[in-house]
Amino acid sequence: MKLLNYMSATGVALTMALAVQANADTYLSIGSNPVGNTAYQWAAGISELVNKNVSGVQAAAEGTKGYVANVQLMLDSKVEAGFSNTKLAYDAHHAQGTYAGQAPGQIVGWMSIKPIVMHVIVKDSSDIKTPADLKGKRVGMGQPGGTSMLDAETLVATLGLEPGKDFKDFRVKLPTMVDMLGDGQLDALIWNGSPPMPPVIKLKSQHKVRILDIPRALSAKIRADAPAYTEGDLPANTYADQPDSVMSYRLGNVLLIKSEVPEDIVYQATKAVMENLDFMATVHPAWKSVKKDAILNGFTVPVHPGALRYYREAGVAGVEDFVKRVAK
């Protein structure tokens, strides 16, 4: 089987990509987010494990615009797998909402990773004390095509704020927002991601900044309107000079895959990752919390038969109840 390589932002030459494909029966592209961000690191680590442990498969991390873009890239057959969130996974699998008109069942689950947590960050000297104080400010919202931008829009809409009217919005990548906040071009940035995020680590190493508490009443309203979000704080000491937990909320962070990818390949790739979690923890700290019995957490769609085969063999707790639940 030959699967088409989607040209990524990694800068790999086309001739090199074609040479790699010539030596592989299957090419497995994993959509992530902009190069250098968290999901890109995860995809690179998974690709390394697959390439070392699964014969006849060449995996590669693909730099993309983010979680929203990844789902569409999968539907367009430009990548075979991709990181996204539980809400987009449900809509894509059932061909509803944005994906109405698509054939259902094309996108299925692979594995659940550490949840993404909403961050609202300002300079320590800022007069912004709560998210409501964003009115009249310059606010980074994330780049178009990324789920974080949609999450930011949900947050400000729940506050009753309209971008461009009540505050000046900037739609750029997280590393760019970090630089703009540090340089004084932004008053605040909003990002929903898996902590600790490398660009935020960089920001805190260079500037004194604060991560704002998101009041419980605000997060409760967001969760009531969109049940895919769940309550969950940013733990203390996630970042340097952050001794206390920060009130926030979360969204399930998952790796998805196309249902058409052969079962045995997904089985072997799943085994390669799950039996090398110590390695993945060296790739990014978020993987320290990835456990066998939590690998299905948050999914409301079926997982790929190849992954399910491994989870059954590995004795993942509650796997049969999960199968029955998502089949309804």
- DSSP annotation string for 159-205: TT--BTTTBEEE---HHHHHHHHHTTS-SEEEEEE-SSPHHHHHHHH
Q: Where in the chain is the domain with CATH 3.40.190.10?
A: 14-114+254-326, 116-251
Instruction: Report cis status (omega within 30 of 0) of the bond before 215.
Output: no
CB 30 within 8 A of CB 60: yes
Chain Cα centroid distance, residue 230: 15
C-alpha distances out from residue 150 to 91, 141, 173, Å: 15, 8, 13
Token pair listed for 103: 């054939």
Integer-rounded Cα Rg, in Å, for the chain is: 20
Token pair listed for 36: 């250098």
> What is the rounded distance in angstroms from the CA atom of residue 81 to the CA atom of residue 110?
9
C-alpha distances out from residue 326 to 32, 58, 93, 153, 319, Å: 25, 31, 11, 29, 11
pLDDT tens string for the chain (328 positions)?
334 333 333 333 333 333 444 455 789 999 998 888 889 999 999 999 999 999 999 999 999 988 899 999 999 999 999 999 888 998 999 999 889 999 999 999 999 988 889 999 999 999 999 999 999 999 999 988 778 899 999 999 999 999 999 999 999 999 999 999 999 999 999 999 888 898 999 999 999 999 999 999 999 999 888 877 888 899 999 999 999 999 999 888 899 999 999 999 999 999 999 999 999 999 988 898 899 998 998 888 999 999 999 999 999 999 999 999 898 7
CB 209 within 8 A of CB 123: yes
Q: Select the CATH number that applies to the domain covering 14-114+254-326 from these four: 3.40.190.10, 3.40.50.300, 3.50.50.60, 1.10.10.10.
A: 3.40.190.10
Chain Cα centroid distance, residue 97: 20
The architecture in CATH of the region 116-251 reads 3-Layer(aba) Sandwich (3.40)
| Counts of helices then strands in the chain (DSSP H, E) | 12, 10
